[in-house]
Amino acid sequence: MSVAKDVLLYAIKKGYYVDSFGNVISPSGKKRAVDYDSWGYPRFTIEYVDKFRNIPVHRLVAYQKYGDKLFEKGMHTRHLNNNKLDYSFDNIAIGTCHENVMDNTKDERVKKARTAAKKLRKFTDSEVEEIRKLNKNGIGIRKLSKDYNVAKSTLSYIINRKTYNNGN
């Protein structure tokens, strides 16, 4: 069992839950404050095995709704409206990674893909323009491939604007 699962089950056993208004309720019946992790997801903290551990609120709601099915291999907690601050009962579901991604609109998926692709880019926009300019001025793909230490197919895609098109 993972630590995250152990901590979540411990919190439930102690009496933590999320009420119908979306409040985290402690075992004493008091509303708990939440803070946010580095991804912006609401969470609360409890002490578990002499350490303070974070519990994502949406995971607690998912467990309340689906029980142990949440822990089956490949299950993700989904926000159906793609708003991570909305952990209402009707907005939380579980499903596959694919289903989770498909909860985003097409525009959001394209934007995230472009952001990820930019982080993997080997060349800056100015280098791409330089490569295109050199090729236009007669420098062949074979020479550019050696000069820039990349495959000829990569350069062909750049030159023909199949990649690195309009800064994307």
Q: What is the mean pLDDT of residues 26-40?
A: 95
What is the per-residue pLDDT across 41-73, written as a single tens digit (0 to 9) for each? 999 999 999 899 999 999 999 999 999 999 999
pLDDT band (50, 70, 90) for residue 95: very high
Q: Which fold has domain 3-103?
A: Homing Intron 3 (I-Ppo) Encoded Endonuclease; Chain A (3.90.75)
How many CA atoms within 13 Å lie on the side-chain side of 49?
8
Quote the pLDDT of residue 166: 63
Residue recorded with tokens 């990349």: 150
| pLDDT of 168 over the 50 cut | no
Question: How many whole angstroms separate alpha carbon 53 and alpha carbon 36?
Answer: 13
Query: Has residue 29 got a pLDDT over 50?
Result: yes
Nearest to 52 by CA among 108, 98, 3: 3
Domain with CATH 3.90.75.20 in the chain: 3-103
Mean pLDDT across the chain: 92
Which residues, in sequence order, are CB contacts of 162 under 8 Å at separation 6+?
Answer: 156
d(CA 141, CA 38): 43
DSSP class per residue in 66-133: HGGGGGSTT-EEEETTS-TT---GGGEEEE-HHHHHHTS-HHHHHHHHHHHHHHH-SS-HHHHHHHHH
Structure tokens at 62: 């998912």
